[in-house]
Amino acid sequence: MIIGVLAVQGGVAEHESTLDELGVEHRQVRRVAHLEGLDGIILPGGESTTISKLLELGGLLEPLKDAIRGGLPAYGTCAGMILLSSEILDTRADAQCLSGLDITVRRNAFGRQVDSFEAALDFAGIVDPVPAVFIRAPWVERVGEGVDVVATVPNGPAAGAIVAVRSGNVMATSFHPEVSGDTRVHEYFVDMVRRHTS
């Protein structure tokens, strides 16, 4: 199994480190050729409009969109969730999305960097609560048909906000499990990939 990590901008190393911890082979994806032979791909956090612009400039936007539409399992964190969405609120007019999930997301929904926070979330398919780190995070405002809500914020001003979703082989979280030291969300994705490839 080889998992790609989109590496045009953002928190690439943390995802690579988590995959190393799980003993999963991985490769950075910067060009179209890097998509060949992948069993799944992770879209990391970063600056979503910058990532979408770099994907477009590098000729990777449409091939990546086609790969995901063709069944390539994908997991996006934070900016990766924004990229996988079908509609983005509070973004620039030239921002692109991959439409891997029929969801509407709002960028920076929880506020600015100073509003970053941590929470323990019930995550469907994982037994105990998952530690979640939110950094200038989006949330999901609309889920389309066939999209399952996997986790919501349990309490506080944003109680009930949708922060993890899945549809078939594509999942996204608005938080960063790669910085929490807990590998279970990545294990969940790797298991998704394994089931798909078998």
> H-helix or E-strand containing 52?
helix 48-57
- 27 annotated ligand-binding residue: no
CA distance 194 to 198: 6
- 176 catalytic? Reply is yes
- 136 annotated ligand-binding residue: yes
Query: Is the CB of residue 123 less than 8 Å from the CB of residue 129?
Result: yes
- 107 annotated ligand-binding residue: yes
- 48 annotated ligand-binding residue: yes
Q: In sequence order, what are the residues at sequence separation of 6 or more whose Cβ sits closer than 8 angstroms to the Cβ of residue 74?
A: 40, 41, 42, 43, 68, 84, 100, 169, 170, 171
- 78 catalytic? Reply is yes
Instruction: Out of 16, 78, 97, 186, pick the active-site residue.
Output: 78
Instruction: Out of 15, 16, 97, 178, pick the active-site residue.
Output: 178
Q: How far apart are the first and last CA of the chain?
A: 11
| Residues pairing with 167 in the sheet | 170
Q: Which residues are catalytic?
A: 78, 176, 178
User: Annotated binding site for L-glutamine, which residues?
Assistant: 46-48, 107, 135-136
User: Annotated binding site, which residues?
Assistant: 46-48, 107, 135-136
